[in-house]
């Protein structure tokens, strides 16, 4: 399993997208920064550097989408989806497994699972969360410091 998980990360999937699937040649975007990042990544790969640590995530996302399409096209869970997806992964993504890969599928969402949660756990926003609020189109207010509430009370009087 370690050989599989070591190879399935954004950097390696982006590398697969460029070196094996030529996704970068067909990637359409109007984002100049993204195109620049893809060009730099392709240059780094072709320069022969020993290790390229990061790759553009959209390239990795394309490989994930292709893998999902292979699985669905082969019939998904009901037919040969796992076998087709397995063939795609082992021939394109896993570079050099150091031991046989596991084919065991574990359902972590079932109540009978001893190791996993019975329902997904969602993160609660923190008091200092300033991420955009899409539903209102504005940012959350910054947290109040002890001095700011006293200043506001004096200003309202």
Chain segment 99-118, per-residue pLDDT in tens: 444 444 445 555 554 444 44
Helix (H), strand (E) at residue 133: strand 132-133
Residue 130: burial class (beta carbons within 10 Å; 0-12, 13-18, 19+): exposed
> Would you say residue 99 lies in a domain?
no
pLDDT at 145: 55
Which pTM does this prediction carry? 0.51
Q: In the predicted model, is pLDDT for residue 125 greater than 70?
A: no
Q: What are phi and psi of 133, to 5 degrees?
A: -95, 100
pLDDT at 2: 56
> Would you say residue 134 lies in a domain?
no
Q: How confident is the model at residue 52 (pLDDT cuts 50, 70, 90)?
A: low
> Would you say residue 124 lies in a domain?
no
Spatial distance between the Cα atoms of 44 and 36, rounded to a whole number of angstroms: 12
Spatial distance between the Cα atoms of 155 and 149, rounded to a whole number of angstroms: 10
User: Range of 61's domain?
Assistant: 2-93
Q: Angle between the 57-73 and 81-88 helix axes, to the nearest 10 degrees?
A: 140
> Would you say residue 129 lies in a domain?
no
Spatial distance between the Cα atoms of 117 and 110, rounded to a whole number of angstroms: 8
pLDDT at 58: 92
pLDDT at 92: 72
Q: In the predicted model, is pLDDT for residue 147 greater than 70?
A: no
**What residues contact 37, with CB distance under 8 A and at least 6 apart?**
56
> Would you say residue 70 lies in a domain?
yes
Query: Number of structural domains, the chain?
Result: 1
> Would you say residue 150 lies in a domain?
no
Spatial distance between the Cα atoms of 150 and 157, rounded to a whole number of angstroms: 11
Residue 76 exposure: Cα atoms within 13 Å on the Cβ side: 2
User: What's 30's DSSP letter?
Assistant: S
Spatial distance between the Cα atoms of 87 and 83, rounded to a whole number of angstroms: 6
**Overall size of the chain counted in residues:** 157
Question: For 8-17, 36-45, 89-98, which range has the lowest pLDDT when averaged over its residues?
Answer: 89-98
> Would you say residue 132 lies in a domain?
no
Q: In the predicted model, is pLDDT for residue 45 greater than 80?
A: yes
> Would you say residue 45 lies in a domain?
yes
């Amino acid at each position: 399993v370690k050989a599989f998980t070591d190879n399935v990360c954004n950097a390696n999937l982006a590398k697969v997208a460029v070196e094996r699937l030529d996704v970068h040649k067909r990637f359409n975007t109007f984002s100049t920064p993204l195109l620049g990042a893809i060009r730099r990544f392709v240059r780094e790969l072709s320069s022969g550097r020993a290790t390229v640590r990061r790759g553009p995530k959209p390239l990795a996302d394309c490989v994930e989408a292709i893998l999902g399409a292979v699985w669905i096209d082969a019939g998904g869970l009901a037919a040969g989806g796992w076998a087709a997806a397995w063939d795609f992964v082992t021939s394109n993504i896993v570079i050099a497994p150091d031991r046989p890969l596991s084919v065991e599928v574990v359902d972590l969402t079932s109540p009978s699972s001893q190791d996993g949660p019975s329902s997904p756990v969602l993160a609660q926003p923190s008091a200092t969360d300033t991420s955009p609020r899409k539903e209102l189109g504005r940012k959350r207010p910054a947290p109040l410091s002890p001095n700011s509430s006293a200043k506001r009370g004096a200003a309202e009087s």
